[in-house]
């Protein structure tokens, strides 16, 4: 059987926009279809691979660079990688796209006020109180994608509607090249992103 080609699906957006929820749901569906899927969650990566980094622009760019390296390696080995990370700077995302090649950018778009209401970790509350600095969307910019392959409006769409939009693009990428016999799913701590 022909081995499925890997692909990176990069979900970017504000903290609490719904990136991790979507990444997990898509990975589960891909696994059910017999494909290899891996979720790289921004918060889990920060706790392990990037725990030496802060939230300056330089450190944020390095964080995305490291996540991109892992995603690139997995993609080369036929894994469908779902990255759920704020990744606020357009140039860093564009650099990762160029390096990986097989790349789908998903803009998980939700207004700041909705994200603040969903914020289970209190990131925005703490940012507004001055307890933490460099919170994306408050005192640090978020640069939305200019031409994402998919835009999900998670303030207007159900999770299933957003998932269906992403899956339709993924299925076009995979096309007839996939006929896997079995798949595996490994989700790394699917929890909310750090600021």
Residue 194 falls within a domain, yes or no? no
Residue 107 falls within a domain, yes or no? yes
- Which CATH number characterizes residue 82's domain? 3.40.50.300
Tell me if 183 sits within 8 A of 30, measured CB to CB: yes
User: Percentage of the chain with pLDDT > 90?
Assistant: 72
User: Percentage of the chain with pLDDT > 70?
Assistant: 88
Examine the pLDDT at 111 and tell me if it is beyond 70.
yes
Residue-wise pLDDT tens digits, 72-94: 999 999 999 999 999 999 999 99
Residue 2 falls within a domain, yes or no? no
* Dist CA 86 CA 21 (whole Å): 13
Residue 108 falls within a domain, yes or no? yes
By residue range, what is the domain housing residue 72?
A: 7-188
Tell me if 145 sits within 8 A of 93, measured CB to CB: yes
| 87 classed as catalytic | yes
Options 87, 110, 168, 179, the catalytic residue = 87
What is the number of structural domains in the chain?
A: 1
Q: Which of 99 and 5 is assigned the larger pLDDT? A: 99
Residue-wise pLDDT tens digits, 161-181: 999 999 999 988 887 454 443
pTM passes above 0.95: no
* Dist CA 20 CA 191 (whole Å): 6
Q: Which one-letter DSSP state was computed for residue 50?
A: T
Residue 105 falls within a domain, yes or no? yes
Mean pLDDT of the chain: 87
């Amino acid at each position: 059987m022909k081995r499925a080609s890997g692909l990176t699906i990069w979900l970017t957006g504000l903290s609490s926009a719904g990136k991790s929820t979507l990444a997990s749901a898509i990975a589960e569906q891909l696994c059910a279809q017999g494909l290899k899927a891996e979720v790289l969650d921004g918060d889990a990566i920060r706790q392990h691979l990037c725990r030496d980094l802060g939230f300056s622009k330089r450190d944020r760019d390095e964080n995305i660079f490291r996540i991109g390296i892992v995603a690139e390696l997995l993609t080369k080995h036929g894994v469908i990688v779902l990255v759920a990370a704020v990744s606020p700077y357009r140039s860093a995302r564009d650099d990762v796209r160029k390096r990986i090649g097989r790349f789908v950018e998903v803009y998980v778009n939700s207004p700041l006020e909705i994200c603040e209401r969903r914020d289970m970790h209190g990131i925005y509350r703490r940012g507004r109180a001055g307890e933490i600095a460099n919170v994306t969307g408050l005192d640090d910019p978020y640069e939305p994608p200019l031409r994402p392959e998919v835009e999900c409006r998670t303030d207007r769409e159900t999770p299933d509607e957003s998932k269906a939009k992403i899956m339709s693009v993924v299925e076009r990428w995979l096309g007839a090249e996939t006929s896997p016999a079995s798949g595996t799913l490994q989700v790394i701590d699917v929890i909310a992103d750090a600021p």
